[in-house]
Amino acid sequence: MSIYRPELHFTADTGILEAAAGTLCDDSLTPDLPVWHMFYQYKFSPDEPSRWGHAMSEGNPFDWVECNDAVVATGGETQVRAGSVVAARGGVDLYFTSVTQAGTSIQVTRAEDLSELCEDIDDDFSVSSAFQRRGDVVSDAADFNRFRSPCVVPGWLHNEDRDQGSAGWLMLAVAGESDNPQVVVLRSGDGDSWKALGELEFHGEPGFDAASESIVAPRLARLRDEVDAVIYDVLLITLERGGRDETFYLVGTLKDNVFTVVTSAQPVDQGHDFSRPRTTTWTESARSLDQRFNRTYIYGPLRSSGRDADLTEEKNWETGGWAGVLSLPRRVTLQNGHIYQTPAPGLPDAVEETRRAKMWTGICDIPVGSKVVAELLDAHGEPAAVITHCGDAIELDRFDGTPARAELAEADEDNITIVVDSSTIEVFAGGGAVVLSSRFWPADGCSGIRVRSHGDAEIYSEWRRGH
């Protein structure tokens, strides 16, 4: 196994992993040991069309087994790109972007029985017979064209009282030219026939120039705020700025095509490499319904840009024949209008089962002016990256001249969790208020995490996992 291939972060066995498409968690049969289904956009080689891969993990979202592909290009298609995964009517619908010479449209393919998704695995990972295409569901309309990148969620029965449940479906999709994209909101009663409600508008200050910025990969999650107990819409967006992707979240309520802002745009991840996250959907079990709005899980590709990324420049492409990594699954909750991200349950035990991954968690007291410094050591004992927590900020420096830095609020807890998994670093700080993710390639792999306190900083307790 390549020293750069992560053991816990999801990668394609062979080829280029371009994007997460969506995740489904099925706890309908075994609530305590759910089955996770990961769908992702990848290609076997740079010259081949993109397709949707599929993998499954039982009990936790770290131990993936490859299944047959879910969607491949057919007919006149040149690509099938990422979209949305929806559990509906006992099965699963995959909404994806179909690309032809004439343009793009949104299509859907369906599997009627979740238990059949991984029954026909073969060596060449051809398309699974469990999925049956149903064709176009959104194509050019009078005011919008080139629909792509769909996000589908249940609609509300009564938007003013969200505890009454859902009815029908909502879709956020990108339309228009790639250099001037529009986010469009659509509605459907059955998931097949869709009506455009209009371009997404913001009521209140969104925290960015909505008129001039390019919004891509919109995603919507619903979370109940742990402080006021209200169910809010959490809008995840990616802004293309100077050749880089910057991902933000806004908290508010979406009614028709108007998003009323409660919390303006806040960064999702402030490391070097995180882009275009996708959300998780659950099957409609009693347990899932009871907990549906308490938390969600998100993933995102660990890279600095989406559209223009050349993943064959990664060091592991030439040496291992693979490229592209997804972040660890992040458990997301909402507190007082802000999201908190923590590693998914089961990660410490999963780290212990690996050969090279390492995890350090510290509960600290770090007065401003003091610091706790964690050095990530290569195989020769030399620092390959340094993480510094100085009380009011945390910095991740991988020695490339551009350290990543995030501010911390005075009320944020002085705790740190660092996960190193071959060529990936993920740092969680402030009780999950701040996350920094980056790729790096330490010489001959990472041999350990060396932590020291400076000044008046104290490490009250710490835990280590990994060999």
Cβ-based neighbour number of residue 56 at 10 Å: 18
CB 329 within 8 A of CB 297: yes
Question: Which pLDDT score is estimated for 309?
Answer: 77
Question: Which pLDDT score is estimated for 125?
Answer: 57
Render pLDDT for 244-300 as a digit per residue (tens, 0 to 9).
Answer: 899 999 999 999 999 999 999 999 999 999 999 999 998 876 455 567 799 999 999
69-78: list long-range contacts, CB under 8 Å, 24+ apart: 69/125, 69/126, 69/127, 69/128, 70/39, 70/94, 70/109, 70/127, 70/128, 70/131, 71/96, 71/109, 71/127, 71/131, 71/133, 72/126, 72/127, 73/49, 74/133, 76/100, 76/101, 76/102, 77/49, 78/49
- Arithmetic mean of pLDDT over the chain: 91
Q: Provide the pairing of β-strand 446-454 with 338-343.
A: unpaired
Mention every residue, 6+ apart, whose C-beta is less than 8 A from residue 400.
none
Q: Looking up tokens 């769908």, which residue turns up?
A: 39
CB 146 within 8 A of CB 104: yes
pLDDT at 82 over 90: no
Which of 60-64, 208-212, 302-306 has the least mean pLDDT?
302-306
Render pLDDT for 333-367 as a digit per residue (tens, 0 to 9).
Answer: 999 999 999 999 999 999 999 999 999 999 999 99
Render pLDDT for 85-112 as a digit per residue (tens, 0 to 9).
Answer: 998 888 899 999 999 998 899 999 999 9
pLDDT band at 463 (very low <50, low <70, confident <90, very high): very high
Average pLDDT for 139-168 = 89
Q: Which string of DSSP letters, residue by residue, matches 164-179? A: G-EEEEEEEEEES-TT
The pLDDT > 70 percentage for the chain reads 96
Helix (H) / strand (E) element for 366: namely none
Question: Which pLDDT score is estimated for 435?
Answer: 98
**How many whole angstroms separate alpha carbon 417 and alpha carbon 432?**
9
Helix (H) / strand (E) element for 342: namely strand 338-343
The pTM (predicted TM-score) of the whole model is 0.94
Question: Which pLDDT score is estimated for 121?
Answer: 67
Average pLDDT for 429-454 = 95
Which of 153-167, 415-429, 431-445 has the least mean pLDDT?
153-167
